[in-house]
Amino acid sequence: MAGKSIQFEQITFVGPDKERVVAFTEGVNVICGASDTGKSFLAEALDFMVGGSTLKEIPERVPYASARLKLNFGADDQWLLQRSLAGGHFDARSLNGDAEGAAIRLKQQHAHGRTDNISGFLLDKIGLLNKRILKSKSKATTVSLSFRNLARLVIVQEGEIQSSQSPFLTGQFIGKTSEIATVKLLLTGIDDSAIVSTIVEEPDNARQLLLIDEILSDLSSEISDLGHEKSELIDQANRLQATIDEQREGLRTVQAELDGKIERRQELYVECAGYRRRQVEIGELLARFDLLETHYGVDKERLIAIQESGSLFAHVTQAPCPLCGAMPDAQHAAGDCEGDVDAVVNAANAEIAKIDQLLVELRQTVVDLRDERDVFYRRRLRPDAYH
């Protein structure tokens, strides 16, 4: 397949006090030497710098904290990858032009179609981003192409060279289909995106279990394609749950406050209804008391007239009788008149005094009722100011 290539230029192990550089030449590089001189560790370090998950602990590694891998994808496209030897994400920096570009953070976990991870970044550089390879012939399922599928073709260990089978194959049965599909993609440039999955249902439990395993495997592959690590998802889920619990507690507090306000509203409604009924009663009483005061006034005026007439009759003999109306010449002062003027006048005075006392009490009652009505009116305007 005609396409872009990837070339390692050098790897540098960086420590606080020293650095160690291993340079490579253009083309195929063969690392040879005596046993225990670091050949395997160097191959593992290169694999680690293009997406491997861990790097073996050896005494010679202790003085170094990180590694830098300089590589190019052509004469005009050079990059520097840096990563802690403890693992984690990558920092990628362009070496194109006179000045170095800003560092780009790349995740370690592969994500299909995305270039914010080391696998997608490298695949994009060699023109293989968004490719899929066959995973199972029987189920016609595919999986996203990762640079991990190509890494073993870039870095070949001693044992793979000595093996009788092709270094393209790991020897594991479950991965053979994907490995052959990767080689086919490199040779032809055609991936397996066009394959449509055909899963045939089988009645026996064994087939169903195989189907479930296949589905779980596909789901795991899709999750891997999303580019999120399990620990990150768990942390995010825990944070979301903590936020949900916090919001739920806040909601309970608000609901309790709302319930209290609804209860208080019901109490105020009942209280206001009582105020309205009492105001109606006070209005009716005031109307009746106004009428009663008018009646008291009329009675008092009548009694005053009787009092004045009786007093006049007692001191002026030549006047019509205020009781029977007899003219002076027809009056029988000796005893023919049945009225006792003095007694009537005294009775009138007593009734006038009684009415005056009733008027005082009535007017005080009216004042008290009006004050009560005013208090109810103010309570209706500001009910909480009186509790």
299-353 tens-digit pLDDT: 888 888 887 777 766 555 556 666 677 776 666 655 545 556 778 778 888 888 8
Asked if 85 contacts 64 with a C-beta cutoff of 8 angstroms, the reply is: yes
Average pLDDT over residues 29-56: 90
Kindly list the distances between the CA atom of residue 334 and the CA atoms of 238, 287, 337, in Å, as whole numbers in the listed order: 120, 50, 8
138 or 181, which is more confident: 181
Average pLDDT over residues 82-90: 93
Instruction: Give CA–CA dist 160/321, Å, rounded.
Output: 154
What letters, b where the CB count within 10 A reaches 16 and e where it falls short, cover 128-158? bbebbbbbbeebebbbbbbbebbbbeebeee
Instruction: Give CA–CA dist 247/249, Å, rounded.
Output: 5
**Lowest-confidence range among 34-38, 51-55, 64-68?**
34-38
Instruction: Give CA–CA dist 323/290, Å, rounded.
Output: 32
Q: What is the pLDDT of residue 205?
A: 73
Asked if 79 contacts 61 with a C-beta cutoff of 8 angstroms, the reply is: no
- Radius of gyration of the CA atoms of the chain, in A: 55
Q: Is the pLDDT of residue 212 over 60?
A: yes
**Residue 382 pLDDT level (bands cut at 50, 70, 90):** low
Q: What is the pLDDT of residue 239?
A: 92
Amino acid occupying residue 8: F
Full DSSP string of 307-375 = HHHHHHHHH-SSS--TTT---GGG--TTTT----HHHHHHHHHHHHHHHHHHHHHHHHHHHHHHHHHHH
Average pLDDT over residues 123-145: 89
**Residue 199 pLDDT level (bands cut at 50, 70, 90):** low
Q: What is the pLDDT of residue 387?
A: 47
280 or 379, which is more confident: 280
8: β partners: 71
List of residues 6+ apart from 50 with CB closer than 8 A: 69, 81, 118, 122, 147, 151, 154
Which of 58-62, 166-170, 375-379 has the highest average model confidence (pLDDT)? 58-62
274: β partners: none
Q: What is the pLDDT of residue 336?
A: 45
Amino acid occupying residue 355: I
Q: What percent of the chain has pLDDT over 90?
A: 31
Element (H, E) at 179: helix 176-188
Q: What percent of the chain has pLDDT over 70?
A: 84
Q: What is the pLDDT of residue 386?
A: 47
List of residues 6+ apart from 125 with CB closer than 8 A: 4, 6, 73, 77, 79
Q: What is the separation, in whole angstroms, between the first and last Cα of the chain?
A: 88
Residue 367 structure tokens: 């004042």
Asked if 303 contacts 345 with a C-beta cutoff of 8 angstroms, the reply is: no
Q: Is the pLDDT of residue 135 over 60?
A: yes
Q: Is the pLDDT of residue 65 over 90?
A: yes
State the pTM of this model. 0.55
**Residue 45 pLDDT level (bands cut at 50, 70, 90):** very high
Q: What is the pLDDT of residue 313?
A: 61
**Lowest-confidence range among 17-26, 29-38, 247-256?**
29-38
**Residue 105 pLDDT level (bands cut at 50, 70, 90):** very high
Backbone dihedral angles phi then psi of residue 258, each to the nearest 5 degrees:
-65, -40
367 or 161, which is more confident: 367
Q: Is the pLDDT of residue 131 over 50?
A: yes
Number of H helices, E strands in the chain: 8, 8
Mean pLDDT of the chain: 83
Nearest CA-CA partner of 86 in 67, 102, 106, 59: 67
Q: Is the pLDDT of residue 260 over 90?
A: yes
